[in-house]
Each structure stands twice: as structure tokens, then as C-alpha cells.
Homo-oligomer: A and B are copies of this chain.
């Protein structure tokens, strides 16, 4: 020991440092700036050091993506907290979802885009994604009538539909394919809501 110059890298587990630096680069400079070597430089280790902790570049990206899904689930949960009416809750969650994408566009693109091929290979990522989707299913079950609630296939289809809607909107917005309509002085949440509430 007695080596204080070893940076935080060795102190706090290089693996977590790499993930953290990758997320920082993602927020600051976007997806195209996120190279393995850039991450290594940011963590002040050599360019091949990440290979002791990740098999692949894809493995690192998958870890980042998984954290993104956990944060997304948390944001949805936070938006739902304290709201009793299930319809209001659904609305809040949808808005929070789109806002999350708008607030972290590069991260969201990584999570859903084609950057990581064969996402299925990474169990951590699959599980984190499943958690978000589970919250979505729950939300749709809550707004369903007591009779419908038993029909699992119906709830599943509705969950997919609402997720498609919300993900599609987020995706079109951050990839600059459409612009959010409505007067600029209106709060973003209101404008998101105006689009979402059309398909109930």
C-alpha cells in the first residue's frame, strides 16, 4: 500500500469507474465520442485495461445501458409516487418516460438503438429492461377494469401498445425526426401530454 498516487481507479474498483466515465462521456459528448480508448483515457488507465473487466466494447455498453434502464425505472417510479388515481398515474409515468429520453438523449439512444447488437447476450441488460417493462405492465393492469385484469394477454398487448407509443414519441423526438407541436411557451410536459392523451 502506501501509494496515494494510484487515483481512484484502483481504490474503488476500476470496473465501476469505467462505467461511470462512459456515462459521463455519453452525457457530455454523445454516442459517437464514446470509444473504449476514450473511456480508458478518462479513467487514466492504459487503452487495454478495460479488457480485464469487459470482454468486449459491447459488454461495457451493455453495462451502461443496464444502468440506464434502472434509472428509467426509477424515474417512472418517482413520477408515480403519491398519485392515487391510476389514470393520472399512467399519464405521469408516460410524461416522465419521454422526459427521461429528452433529458438523456445519448443514453436513451444507446439503450434502444442498434449500437449494441444482440442485446439478448447480456443477462444484466435483459433483466434491467424487463424491470422497466414490468412497471409498464403493472401500470396498464391498474387502469384496467376488474374483469379485464384477469386477461393476461390483453394486458400484455396493452402494455406493448403504450410502450410503443411512448418509446416511439421519445425516439422520434430525440432523433430529430419530428418536432413536438404546440406553442413554445407551453410547458414541455403539457405538450407531451397533449400527444399522449390522444391514444388512451
Contact = CB atoms under 8 A, between A and B. Distances in A.
Interface string A86-105: 00000000000000000000
A15 interface: no
Contact of A171 (B31, B160, B167): B167
Interface string A117-159: 1111000000001000100000000000000000001001110
A199 to B, nearest CB: 4
B168 A165 contact: yes
Nearest to A200: B199
Contact of A119 (B133, B158, B167, B175): B175
Interface string A57-82: 00000000000000000000000000
B32 A177 contact: no
Contacts of A164: 164-166, 168-169, 171-172, 195
A195 B31 contact: no
Interface stretch (A2-10, A35-43, A48-56, A107-115): A107-115
A45 interface: no
Nearest to A166: B168
A167 B165 CA distance: 8
Interface of A: 30-32, 109, 112-115, 117-120, 129, 133, 153, 156-158, 160-169, 171-172, 175-178, 181-182, 194-196, 198-200
